[in-house]
Amino acid sequence: MVELDPAADYRIKVGQRFHQVGNISAVWQAMSVYHDALGVEHAILMEAGRLGKKTLSASVLLDHSQYQLI
């Protein structure tokens, strides 16, 4: 079961924007952040101006070889 805890300490903040390295045309914004049952932090992202949506772990989003915070 996924637990949403607004008081939890997250490394990703709602509203932060990212783009994938090598693809600066797609901007992804963190819409919500949560810890799964194993305690792994994830962010649900929406593609700015489009209908795209995906969930990534914080470790992937914070890996500068894959995504950059903008």
pLDDT tens column, 21-62: 998 889 999 999 999 999 999 999 999 888 889 999 999 999
> Do 52 and 20 contact (CB within 8 A), yes or no?
no
> Do 32 and 14 contact (CB within 8 A), yes or no?
yes
- List, in sequence order, every beta strand (DSSP E) within 1-70: 17-20, 23-35, 41-47, 53-57, 67-69
- Pick the more confident residue, 3 or 33: 33
Confidence of residue 1 (pLDDT cuts 50, 70, 90): very low
> Do 44 and 15 contact (CB within 8 A), yes or no?
no
* pLDDT beyond 60 at 7: no
Spans of all domains in the chain: 17-69
Summarize the confidence of residues 2-10 as an average pLDDT.
56
Contact partners, residue 13, CB within 8 Å, separation at least 6: 30, 33
